Structure 1
Amino acid sequence: MTLGAELLFGLLYFCMTCANQDHFVRVIGLLHQSVELPSSPSLPSPVQEINWNFRSKEKSHKVAQIDNHQTKFYINQFNGRVKLLHNETTLHIKDLRMEDSGNYTVQFILIGEERYANFMLMVYEPVPDPSIMIVMEERTSHWCNVTLHCSVPTNSSPLNYNWIYKHTDSVYEDSGDTIHISLNYSWDMKFQCIVHNPADWKNVSKQERCNAQGPMEDSRKMYKRIWNLRCALTATFMVLSICCICLSHRCK
């Protein structure tokens, strides 16, 4: 085979691979829940045989075969968890497991032709209940610079974080597990963190108000500290004076 022929063959193979990938129907499943892979091809002639296959981690397995209206199930991974619906054109999987993620293909063998339907199943864990931790970083006389962190217990599935918060009629949105915001001391704001993956989501809310210290309150606190220090010095002076008087009497 010449170099040009090899390049042409490689290009054709690449195009066919891309085309096959484009025909995969993406299906989202939630751990321990059920899912259906429905195929509804237009079949012009009687179906002689139907084969359901599963491919994961470069290994291919036969899930089920229907021949002469007789159904056989294979691969122990799906033992007792799969059934065929709607004239065997839909694969129903219950009690989903993480290892059920992969590519599924149904093959319809007709008289003189074959037809296929492809599915890409992705199984995700449920999203745990999130929590919000608030850290006050800096206060001024009128503002609080606040950091809010949204987190969940350990979860192996990728998660996305979105924030919604509002003040009066204005609504703000942000993304990421941590946000930074400045609050006016007169604001009372509600923050909502939404944690989600393609199959599930949870949210948590927290009300926050900036308790900034105004100039009058700062002055009062400063005066109180000075007064406490003055009292402490006065008491110390009196104790020392009494000690000196006692010592002078003993010396006589």
Structure 2
Amino acid sequence: MGCSVCLWLLISLGRVWGMGRGARETVLGTLGKATMLRIPPELQELTLRFGAAVWKRDTEDPQRKLVLLKYSDGNYTNYMQGRTRFHKLDFSLEILNTKRQDRQLYEYIVSKGPEEKVWQIQLEVYEPVSDPSIQILSWVLANGSCTVTLNCTAEQGDKVSYSWGSWDTSTLGLCSRNGSLLHLSYPLQNTSIPCTCTASNPVSSRVVAFNFSECSYEQGGSAELRTEHLVLMVAVPIAAVMVITGVFVAAYLAMPIASQEQEQEHLPLAEDNAVHTIYSQVQRVEKQKGVPAAEHPSCTTIYAAATGLPPDTVPAPGRAPRPPHSR
């Protein structure tokens, strides 16, 4: 008796748990895209038979649920108009633009008299993976073989995982690795080794290829080595050529300017040498009264000599001419 009662209690608890919690599935949603929440055919038949159902969603508060939609006898009320779309054909709910806050537990509940049938959907939201890129971290050339270390990364995506492989079956063993890093050693006789990196998460996958053609700076070496090599081999010669060209151009442009300056310096000198005006003052000896002058005095000014005028006609500089003496 006691064992049968315990068994009955366990079965009853299981039924209550099944009706209270319902079956659960996980749906993967892509960030920024539409996500469909579907119910199984069994619940679709129950909805058609009893004609009453509701979509709900959990919130941050465990004591509160958000009613998204109510269905009753062919009519429905969408409380999230613009965010969700209801499909009457199969009673599914479509989230139009999936956001991170939509990551919640959803419930579809069918009422059948005093009982309820519950279907639970856990929505997980992921950002899709962007195109990955491959970086060469290091390379070593030794003993006729090349050893390269590659790193594969994707800038966007949630919970991204990486794997290496090859589209060429002959090199599949060399490229097969899990993780973002690939350490590859191959003989120099191999002219081409194609490897691929796959970046994926639960909602998307992207592939990028890398071809090893030779063990050199172009295919090997870190990004810092390639940049330094480029600066030394390209930038420095270009800078030197530009400096030398600038010096020659400056010298060429300076030569006409210097010639013009010399011509301008000589031109005023030639003009200045053409005319020279000299002013000088010489003290004049006055004649004594009563003594007639037999001849002109021998005092000649420099101005008179320069102009060629007779001495008597040259006025003394800075002195007004004397009036005639009255007798």
Give per-residue Cα distances to partners, 1:137-171, cap 9 Å, x unaligned. Answer: 3211311111110012254x111111113666242
User: What corresponds to 1:34 in structure 2?
Assistant: 34
Tell me if 1:208 matches 2:212.
yes
Deviation at 1:16, TM superposition (A): 4.5
Matched-pair contact (CA < 8 Å) for 1:186–1:210: no
Task: Evaluate the alpha carbon distance shift between residue 106 and residue 145 of structure 1 in structure 2; reply closer, same or farther with a 3 A threshold.
Answer: same
SS of the equivalent of 2:140 reads strand
- Report what 1:132 is aligned to: 134
1:93 to 86, 95, 104: 95
**Partner of residue 202 from structure 2, selected from 198, 216, 219:** 198
- SS of alignment partner, residue 101 of structure 2: helix
**TM, length-normalised to structure 2:** 0.53
Q: 1:71 to 1:96 in 2, by over 3 A?
A: same
Unaligned ranges ≥5, structure 2: 1-8, 217-327
SS in 1 for 2:172: strand
User: How far, CA to CA, are the matches of 2:162 and 2:70 in structure 1?
Assistant: 43
Runs (4+) off by over 6 Å: none
What is the aligned partner in structure 1 of residue 288 from structure 2?
A: none
**C-alpha separation in 2, matches of 1:44 and 1:67:** 9
Which AA in structure 1 matches 2:118?
Y
- Seen in structure 2, the aligned counterparts of structure 1 residues 208 and 45 have a Cα distance that, compared at 3 Å, is closer
The superposition leaves residues 220-249 of structure 1 with CA deviations (integer Å, 9 ceiling, x where unpaired) of: xxxxxxxxxxxxxxxxxxxxxxxxxxxxxx
Hey, what's the Cα distance between the residues in 2 that align with 1:195 and 1:46? 47
State the distance in 2 between where 1:178 and 1:38 align. Answer: 40
RMSD: 2.9
Q: How does 1:170-209 map to 2 (within 5 A)?
A: 170-172=171-173, 173-187=176-190, 188-209=192-213
Please state which structure has a larger fraction of its residues in helix.
2
Match of 1:160 in 2: 161
3-state secondary structure, aligned to 2:82: coil
- Unpaired segments ≥5 residues, structure 1: 1-7, 213-252
User: 1:51: how far off?
Assistant: 1.1
Choose which of 122, 141, 144 in structure 2 pairs with 1:142.
144
- SS of 1:133's equivalent in the other structure is strand
Q: Which of 40, 49, 65 is the equivalent residue of 1:60? A: 65
Q: How far apart, in 2, do the equivalents of 1:52 and 1:152 lie?
A: 37
TM-score, normalising length: structure 1: 0.68
CA distance in 2, matches of 1:131, 1:200: 16
Residue 88 (structure 1) shift: 6.2
- After superposition, the C-alpha distances for 1:89-130 in whole angstroms (9 at most, x for unaligned) are 211111111111111100011234211111111111121111
Q: How far is the alpha carbon of 1:193 from its aligned partner?
A: 0.7
What's the offset of the Cα at 1:38? 1.1
Aligned residues: 197
Cα distance 1:20–1:143, how it changes in 2: closer, same or farther (>3 A)? farther
More off after superposition, 185-194 vs 109-118:
109-118
